[in-house]
Amino acid sequence: MNKIERFFGDGALKAFEAPEAIVLQRTELGRFANCPHQGNLCEERKDEIETHETLPEAGKIIHAIAEEAIKANEFNLQDAADHIGEELPKVRPDLQPEALRAGKNLANEIRRFGGNRVLICEEPITRSLLPATEDRGEVLIVCELDLVLATAKEGVIIVLDYKSGYKDRSNAEARDDFQTCVGCWCLFGKFPYVDTIHWWYLNTRIHTRSYCRIEREIDESNFEARILETARIKLDGCDEIWPEPKKCSLCPTVKWCEAVLSDIKELDGEPKAFLDNYLIRQARCDEMLKTLKDSVKNGRTIYGSGTRFEFDPKPKFLPKLVTEKPKAEKKKKKKPAEQTA
């Protein structure tokens, strides 16, 4: 516990023990910024939403190889890029194609910034958001950054954050991203002399870049306000649902969402709830369809009540839902009547 001091009625300054600090990770806080209900579900169902898909697994391996390469080569980025290339063929065989694709692109990107000195590599940085009170401990924000580089110009640094997915952010989306917000705010706290941050998202899987320039004078106070409001939402136990098609389609907890499990609303009585309910149910149906598609890729057929879902070799109809029709009995052709003389 932390010791804090305050003035009491007799005018004396006394120290007392404050509750333990509350540590909020950027990733968990980002879910509450996106949708409070999603944030709560991710905490409640964290053991049930583990993913073992190729892209996330390959991304973890690439991050680990990059960190090892940079630290093993004493933060020399040119040598680290060569090191990454040497390690990629040793990756698990099932992940190798994706890892090779992403890793080679990352090595090339690191070479572009090879003349800069490394300040941070895959390390968490912490900044205090709220001081401790008698009822609540100090609130700390923690953000882990892939690579932070110094530049020749004093007060200017570069952030490289590598992504292995398919998302191609625009420069405007890069600036608005909650990760940019928290990362830059924490960096401004760690490096008081820094006034400008050049933030790059390196989309290694699709070989694109997203960029934004962040200025302390303009952005720090706005970022802090956004983080403060998000922390308030989490600490106050807010559980509101904020559905949007894009959000719900990517939500890892949509199957447990209250709007999916609740009764269908009536359009005339609750139009807003009706539309929200529809958007989230549609996202859930899309998730179910993806599961069905994945399950029939090996030639399996799934039978329902009067329907079947099967693999179809024709790309246009891959896969397809087939309605089972009862077989009609074949009608016997009538023989022409024999003519009588």
Question: According to the model, what pLDDT value does residue 180 have?
Answer: 97
Backbone CA torsion sign across 207, 188, 60, 74: positive
The answer as to whether 91 is a domain residue is: yes
Give the model's pLDDT for residue 313: 62
Residues 180 and 223 in one domain: yes
Q: How many helices (H) and strands (E) does the chain have?
A: 11, 11
95: domain range?
Answer: 21-34+50-235
> Considering the domain boundaries, does residue 309 fall inside one?
no
Split into its structural domains, the chain has a count of 2
| pLDDT number for residue 9 | 53
Low-confidence ranges of the chain (pLDDT < 50): 1, 316-318, 339-341
Among the three residues 211, 235, 259, which one is the final residue of a domain in this structure?
235
Task: Say what the pTM is.
Answer: 0.74
Euclidean distance between CA atoms 212 and 200, whole angstroms: 7
**276 domain residue, yes or no:** yes
- Classify residue 222: in a domain, yes or no: yes
**CA 189, 190, 195, 198 torsion-angle sign:** negative
Using an 8 Å Cβ cutoff, are 192 and 177 in contact? no
Determine the residue type at 16: F
**Residue 127 amino acid letter:** R
Alpha helices for the chain (secondary structure H): 26-34, 36-44, 54-72, 77-87, 96-112, 171-176, 178-190, 216-235, 245-250, 258-261, 271-295
Nearest Cα to 282, choosing from 321, 307, 248? Answer: 248
In sign, the C-alpha dihedral spanning 290, 294, 299, 302 is negative
* Statement to judge: residues 250 and 281 lie in one domain: yes
Asked whether residue 11 is domain-assigned, the answer is no
**HSE toward the beta carbon, residue 270, CA cutoff 13 A:** 9
102 and 125 assigned to the same domain: yes
* Same domain for 277 and 228: no
Sign of torsion over alpha carbons 66, 71, 77, 82: negative
**What distance in Å separates the CA atoms of residue 326 and residue 329, rounded to the nearest whole number?**
9
255 plus 206 within the same structural domain: no
Are residues 293 and 186 part of one domain? no
Task: Answer for the pair 158, 148: CB distance below 8 angstroms, yes or no.
Answer: yes
Q: Write the CATH number for 64.
A: 3.90.320
Both structure tokens of 240:
């509101």
Does residue 159 share a domain with residue 55?
yes
Q: Quick one: 249 and 191 in the same domain?
A: no
> Which of 282, 297, 312 is the last residue before a domain boundary?
297
Residue 73 lies in a domain: yes
pLDDT of residue 341: 39
- Position 240: which residue type? E
Which of 235, 268, 289 lies at the terminal end of a domain, its last residue?
A: 235
d(CA 240, CA 46): 19
Residue 280 near residue 242, CB atoms below 8 Å: no
**Contacts with 174 (C-beta within 8 Å, 6 or more apart), sequence order:** 180, 199, 201, 210, 211, 212
Residue 216 has a CB neighbour count (10 Å cut-off) of 19
Q: Looking at the structure, tell me whether residues 162 and 68 fall in a common domain.
A: yes
**Same structural domain for residues 55 and 194?**
yes
C-alpha span between 192 and 182 (Å, rounded)? 16
pLDDT of residue 59: 83
If asked whether residues 256 and 143 sit together in one domain, one would say no
66 & 212 share domain: yes
Three-state secondary-structure class, residue 106: helix
